[in-house]
Amino acid sequence: MKDHFTMDSPQPRLLDETKQGVIGTPMDRPDGPRKVSGTADYTADHAPDGMAHGVLVRATIARGRITGMDRDTVLGIDGVIDVITDPRMIRNPAQGMAGSAPVQTGDEVHYHGQPIALVVAETFEAARDAAQRLTVHYHAEAAAVSPETTPDTETDDPVTAGDFDSSWSAAEVQIDRAYTTPSQAAAAMEPHAAIADWQGDHVTLRSALQMVRFNKAELADTLGIDPSKVRILAPFVGGGFGSKLGLGPEAAAAAIAAQKLGRPVRVVMTRQTVFDTVLRRSETAQRVRLGATKDGRITAISHDDRVSNIDGEGFAEPVSQASQFLYGADGLSFTQTVARIAATPAGSVRAPGEAVGMLAFEAAIDELADALGMDPLELRLKNLPEKHPIDGRPYSARRLADCLTEGAARFGWADRWQAGTRREGDWLIGIGMASAARSNMLVKSSARVRLTGDQAIVETDMTDIGTGTYAILAQITAEMLGLPAANVTVRLGDSDLPGASGSGGSFGANSAGSAVFLAARKLRAEIAERLGCDAEGLTLQNGQARGDNREAALTELVSEEILAEATIQKGKTAKSHFSSGFGAHFAEVAVNEWTGEIRVRRMLGVMSMGRILNEKTARSQALGGMIWGIGAALTEEMQSDPRDGHIVTRDLANYHVPAHADVPGDMQVVFLEERDDWANPIQTKGIGELGISGAGAAVINAISHATSKRAYDYPVLPDRMVALLEG
């Protein structure tokens, strides 16, 4: 049975009718025990017989050409097998959903830290020693490494609606502010890793990757072989956050080395290499202009930005993405400039765009409220547009106003005091809020569900990067087929299985979940036919099928395996309606008036993100996002050298993600009930990125409330806060 479904129209809310009662529940993830007992097999846990160890060698100039390597000196190190260079090696990881090889540079160097060779040895330590000691000779060239000063920039045509210039100049109240955010790292717990093993002309690659279907095509294109000769395995991935969307240099190098040496090769990046070469989130320079009438109607919105990337990468951090649809105005204008620099390439990191764009935009909204003498909550509520301000599409489902008011009630927003007037000892106390938004997507995705008696198996190349895919696909299948979730086995992360969307852009649960849903719906139809009832009248619960006054156990009806495969792709609803998750973040902070230290004391996120498939994993996603928001506002900053652009903060002791002590005990997440009928047949929205979108801005706005000072350069590290306090 095959179903190829295009999302052209809303579908019945079947998951609200089914009787198993497992969908939406806070079910523990079935893979949890394996993860906490060390038996979940992450890539680097494997060591096939005869495996050699590879360590990447990095370039130590910003731009130029390699003229030689003193291979002989390191080939003499005990255990070193080879120093491999190859024109097929890749400069940097593929961008998400590229499906083709990244830039292959041969002997050219495009940035400091670029992988330029692989040392292979019998032990990891020998390989690392040799990689460290390999002397490389270069012909160095001048390189622009600063986005501020590079002469090489590209500016897109502005995205506009109405006439911004006239709306702006006519505005009774104006806010015009510049903001900066630094480069950020995904900083996934599991370093990037790959093991390649050839059998004849077929290669099997185990790698920490988020998008197996695309990664298979990327590896085939990188190696110049047919995709049918590539198998990718990624059953467990230790965090991705965008950094494992695309095939990485470690995977290409492992495959090339394994082919050359005729034995399996494992390449695990050191943490320093992860910082050097994995795609960073671009730093941004932003300018927000807001115009309004004196009574608080926003009339003009402009959000311009400058981001950076290396030559040859099409990705540009979509900074103003959410600014284009959160609030309405008579005139809107958004212009992006990309600065080309010779530095670690930029790509998708959790909530590309919103994560940094909303920091600035929602801070500017707050400043506009101040200028108007309005409550920032009221200003937001007053300016929610009826339809998408740029393209005029209706919103599919939007409970932003409910999120704002519900959050305000729960947080105690009405008790807000005058800015800069509350202190506890040396600490100044303030509260702040911000809207949350992250646009929602559906990506082509396939899945197969097999049912034998009351046992089901789900098969798809979808990944679980720590998000809970194993749990939610089991829940969808169990709910649809009337089985306890424990009766469902989920197989993921194998490119021999039906190709899914992969994990990225918060679309994984929507897309892969819908494919599983549709396959299970097919099976329901088959079960109904066997039982002799209409599919609509079929009830499945605890392995029993009922309908039309008939009842039978699945073990009788399905004594031999039946299977269904389904593919979903987006259709007319994507054009007719605009779908996005929405929410509201609230934060309370304390700012030390002497040292500029900032502590978040409590945080609340109220979110409407469609149907919740698993209340526990969804909550974890939202909390994780909010903690990233704290990091973006207060701690996370990649620093690079002003001369050669190399990353200076190359480990987790110097790149500061929030520590436990930075996260308040009082972190609350509330989901408002919602179904998005226009999004997909299971009425869900993406949840992985909404938590971060706007969260940092609530912290930023709370700082302003506490101190009556506004920060425009993020994160607000103690030195930046002290400068404001001194000023």
Partner 1 sequence: MRPFDYHRAETFDDVTSGQIIAGGTNLLDLMKIQVMTPEALVDITRLEGLSAIVPEGDGLRIGALVTNSALAYDPLVRAGWPLLSRAILAGASAQIRNKATTGGNLLQRTRCPYFYDTSQPCNKRTPGAGCAAIGGGGRMLALFGTSDHCLAAHPSDMAVALTALGAEVEIHGANGTRRVPLQDLYVPPADRPDRETILETGDLITAVILPAPKSGSRQGYRKVRDRASYAFALVSVAGAVTMEGGTITDVSLAFGSVAPKPWTIPEVEQMLLGQPASDDLFRRAADLLAPDPAPHPETEYKRALLRRTFVATMRQLTGLADTTGTDIARAEA
Place of tokens 């909204």: 365
Which residue, 421 or 595, is less far from partner 1 as judged by CB? 595
**Which tokens belong to 630?**
């704290």
Task: Figure out which of the listed residues 599, 602, 616, 709 binds partner 1, where binding follows CB under 8 A.
Answer: 599
What does residue 520 show for φ and ψ, rounded to 5 degrees? -65, -35
**Torsion from C-alpha of 672, 678, 680, 686, nearest 10 degrees:** -40
* In the complex, least distance from residue 622 CB atom to partner 1, rounded to whole angstroms: 21
Beta bridge partners of 55: 119
The stretch among 96-104, 229-237, 452-460, 645-653 that binds partner 1 (CB under 8 A) is 645-653
d(CA 348, CA 313): 12
Which residue, 292 or 717, is less far from partner 1 as judged by CB? 717
* In the complex, least distance from residue 657 CB atom to partner 1, rounded to whole angstroms: 8
- Are 144 and 286 spatial neighbours (Cβ–Cβ below 8 Å)? no
- Sequence-distant (6+) residues with CB within 8 A of 266 are 44, 46, 47, 51, 52, 53, 54, 193, 194, 195, 254
- Sequence-distant (6+) residues with CB within 8 A of 295 are none
Which residue, 29 or 112, is less far from partner 1 as judged by CB? 112
Draw the binding track, 435-454, toward partner 1 (x: CB under 8 A; -: no contact).
--------------------
Work out whether 180 is an interface residue with partner 1 (CB under 8 A). no
Work out whether 272 is an interface residue with partner 1 (CB under 8 A). yes
Task: Figure out which of the listed residues 17, 311, 556, 641 binds partner 1, where binding follows CB under 8 A.
Answer: 641
What does residue 250 show for φ and ψ, rounded to 5 degrees? -65, -35
Which residue, 513 or 658, is less far from partner 1 as judged by CB? 658
Nearest to 308 by CA among 278, 330, 341: 341
Work out whether 148 is an interface residue with partner 1 (CB under 8 A). no
- Are 258 and 265 spatial neighbours (Cβ–Cβ below 8 Å)? yes
Work out whether 529 is an interface residue with partner 1 (CB under 8 A). no
From first CA to last CA, the distance across the chain in angstroms is 70
Total residues contacting partner 1 by CB under 8 A comes to: 46
Q: Is 78 buried (19+), middle (13-18) or exposed (0-12) by CB count in 10 A?
A: exposed
d(CA 390, CA 455): 49
Q: C-alpha angle with apex 240: 124 to 61, nearest 5 degrees? A: 55
Work out whether 585 is an interface residue with partner 1 (CB under 8 A). no
Which residue, 535 or 652, is less far from partner 1 as judged by CB? 652
Q: Please name the amino acid found at residue 416.
A: R
Which residue, 381 or 722, is less far from partner 1 as judged by CB? 722
Work out whether 189 is an interface residue with partner 1 (CB under 8 A). no
Work out whether 643 is an interface residue with partner 1 (CB under 8 A). yes
Place of tokens 């360590």: 55
d(CA 701, CA 703): 5
The stretch among 294-302, 316-324, 589-597, 693-701 that binds partner 1 (CB under 8 A) is 589-597
CA 421 to chain centre: 38
Task: Figure out which of the listed residues 159, 170, 552, 723 binds partner 1, where binding follows CB under 8 A.
Answer: 723
Task: Figure out which of the listed residues 16, 17, 41, 78 binds partner 1, where binding follows CB under 8 A.
Answer: 78
The stretch among 122-130, 139-147, 442-450, 570-578 that binds partner 1 (CB under 8 A) is 122-130
The stretch among 28-36, 127-135, 141-149, 548-556 that binds partner 1 (CB under 8 A) is 127-135
Which residue, 58 or 213, is less far from partner 1 as judged by CB? 58
Draw the binding track, 657-676, toward partner 1 (x: CB under 8 A; -: no contact).
-xxxxx--------------
Task: Figure out which of the listed residues 13, 88, 382, 656 binds partner 1, where binding follows CB under 8 A.
Answer: 656
Q: Please name the amino acid found at residue 380.
A: R
What is residue 678's three-state secondary structure?
coil
* In the complex, least distance from residue 715 CB atom to partner 1, rounded to whole angstroms: 8
Which residue, 8 or 426, is less far from partner 1 as judged by CB? 426
Which residue, 385 or 718, is less far from partner 1 as judged by CB? 718
**Which tokens belong to 419?**
């800015």
Work out whether 132 is an interface residue with partner 1 (CB under 8 A). yes
- Are 158 and 333 spatial neighbours (Cβ–Cβ below 8 Å)? yes
Which residue, 596 or 696, is less far from partner 1 as judged by CB? 596
Residue 262: Cβ within 10 Å count: 8
Work out whether 709 is an interface residue with partner 1 (CB under 8 A). no
User: What is the side-by-side strand order in the sheet with 136-140?
Assistant: 108-109, 64-69, 136-140
Nearest to 120 by CA among 88, 84, 174: 84
Q: Is 297 buried (19+), middle (13-18) or exposed (0-12) by CB count in 10 A?
A: middle
Work out whether 152 is an interface residue with partner 1 (CB under 8 A). no
Draw the binding track, 600-639, toward partner 1 (x: CB under 8 A; -: no contact).
----------------------------------xx---x
* Start-end of H helices in 32-171: 32-36, 71-75, 124-133, 164-170
* In the complex, least distance from residue 359 CB atom to partner 1, rounded to whole angstroms: 17
Work out whether 200 is an interface residue with partner 1 (CB under 8 A). no
Work out whether 727 is an interface residue with partner 1 (CB under 8 A). no
Q: Is 313 a catalytic residue?
A: no
- As a whole number of Å, the CA-based R_g of the chain is 26
Work out whether 70 is an interface residue with partner 1 (CB under 8 A). no
Which residue, 67 or 132, is less far from partner 1 as judged by CB? 132
The stretch among 253-261, 387-395, 422-430, 518-526 that binds partner 1 (CB under 8 A) is 422-430
Beta bridge partners of 285: 180, 306
Work out whether 125 is an interface residue with partner 1 (CB under 8 A). yes
Q: Which of these is catalytic: 636, 637, 689, 726?
A: 689
Q: C-alpha angle with apex 97: 96 to 103, nearest 5 degrees? A: 70
- Sequence-distant (6+) residues with CB within 8 A of 99 are 214, 217, 218, 221
Task: Figure out which of the listed residues 426, 529, 556, 673 binds partner 1, where binding follows CB under 8 A.
Answer: 426
What is the contact surface with partner 1 in residues (CB under 8 A)? 58, 60, 78, 112, 125, 128-129, 132, 270, 272, 424-426, 592, 594-597, 599, 634-635, 639-643, 646, 648-651, 653-654, 656, 658-662, 717-719, 722-723, 725-726
Catalogue the active-site residues: 689
